[in-house]
Chains A and B, each alone.
With several copies, the nearest count.
Chain A
Amino acid sequence: MNVGAWQVLSLMLRREMCLYFRRPDQLLQPLVFFLIVTALFPLGLSPQLSLLRDMAPAVLWVAALLSALLSLEGLFKGDAEDGTLEQLALCGQPLGLIVAAKTLSHWLVSGAALVIMSPLVAVALGIPREAFPAMLLSLGLGTLTLSWLGAIGAGLTVGLRRGSVLLSLIVLPLAMPLLIFGAGATDRAISGASAAGPLYFLAALCVLTSTLAPFAATAALRITLE
């Protein structure tokens, strides 16, 4: 009774979800972080609150990037530390499937959750209702791309002693286009201009990374595992 690719994917997805829900902190961490960063800014700005609305897209996007990035560090780390990553590597299934399942679950609990919660934050930052569709779409595409990029970084750095700094150094340069186009799309939507340009660009980036990154991440993990 062999185990097919779909079974592997679904089993791994269930495993990851189970683990995330058993450790509510891992689940909530990105969300709480996102909320906190966005709440801290107005406090720091208190004398010139009028600025808040202009910087809203930047605050929103920086907070989203950072919160996704922070949780990426743990993508393979927990498994590497307790020895279960070795067991996964030895399970006789293509490592690519396992990496893909882990990355997708990461996006579901960090990126997707963040997208769902962003309207709340957007209201607090004074982003107008009309800008929501563009904002949601750009955040969704951006965080998915970031999860894939992060998987490559996390694969390369798991087990390294200088892991987390390296991860930021590897991922952030790759993520800068996301920030520029994402904040750009939101900003245009706020000022009533068409956000289509930056959105198309984000979509293209997302498709590109979703097809290539799984292979790169698997290769990266193989290199560090050996």
Chain B
Amino acid sequence: MWNWFYKLASPPYVYRLAAVLAPWLLGGAALCIGYGLVDGLVFAPPDYQQGDAFRIIYVHAPSAWLSLSAYTLMAVAGGIGLIWRIKIGHAVAAAAAPIGASFTVLALLTGSLWGRPMWGTYWAWDPRLTSELILLFLYVGVMSLRSAFEDPGRGDRAAALLAIVGVINVPIIHYSVQWWNSLHQGATVAKFARPSMPGSMLWPLLSMLLGFMLFFGGVLCLRLRGEVLNRERQSSWVREVVRAS
């Protein structure tokens, strides 16, 4: 069982696996996002209160969700690297951080663009918004901590530790709308029993979400290949790869 695990986590294997997965993931992402955009922006009916402004949701909600899941993934991968000293964990964490940070920026930007028509302001110091901003700080902190070390091994472990400590922020962001009275929308989609959203709006949203997830996976694979190559540049298999290309 452990042997199997170690083989799965060995850099050359991951390098090849990522190459196989990336095109499938990215292809799926293109399909889902394509359908979601067309259906969501063109065919879905305008909201009875918000008019067309609500369509920002098709970018905003998926990127906000992914900003949270990417952070969790980064922390878990870093934890695996820290505790079991499995190098690929750190590589995954390092590859995921900038993608997650970009999703966070996207969520903040789309959110504040949406805030202008909705709340009459781009920014308010509201719990959800503030905690999402903190998430961005955490991403930046993790990335700069990693790069501040001259020795990459120590940088990886330090960044992993910080990522784990910061995970506490994820549930805070998620539940902030329930714990404090907030300007921000409560859960709209996740109420599976009775989503408070008509299907014609919901399906494109779900498709966008799936598409964003696939996109994240695909980009992660691509970045992971780069990370692994860079980290293993001393080893023999990388030299073979380079020679072969």
Contacts and interface: CB of A to CB of B under 8 A. Distances in A.
Direct touching of A and B (C-beta under 8 Å): yes
B125 A46 contact: yes
A93 B128 CA distance: 44
Contacts of B80: none
Contacts of B168: 174
Interface in A208-226: 216, 219-220, 223-224, 226
A170 B161 contact: no
Name A's interface SS: helix
B71 to A, nearest CB: 12
A186 to B, nearest CB: 17
B28 interface: no
B158 A156 contact: yes
A160 interface: yes
A200 B148 CA distance: 37
A173 B134 CA distance: 5
Interface in A163-217: 166, 169-170, 172-174, 176-177, 180, 216
A160 B145 CA distance: 9
A176 B134 contact: yes
A29 to B, nearest CB: 14
A89 to B, nearest CB: 15
B16 interface: no
A169 B165 contact: no
A180 to B, nearest CB: 8
Nearest to B137: A173
Contacts of A135: none
Interface of A: 42-43, 45-46, 49, 124, 152, 156-157, 160-162, 166, 169-170, 172-174, 176-177, 180, 216, 219-220, 223-224, 226
22 contacts: A43-B125, A43-B130, A49-B124, A124-B123, A156-B161, A156-B162, A157-B145, A157-B148, A162-B144, A166-B144, A169-B140, A173-B134, A173-B137, A173-B166, A180-B127, A216-B164, A216-B165, A219-B161, A220-B158, A220-B161, A224-B154, A224-B158
Interface of B: 123-125, 127, 130-131, 134, 137-138, 140-141, 144-145, 148-149, 154, 157-158, 161-162, 164-166, 168-169, 172
Given A152-B161, A162-B144, 4 more contacts: A49-B124, A124-B123, A174-B169, A223-B154
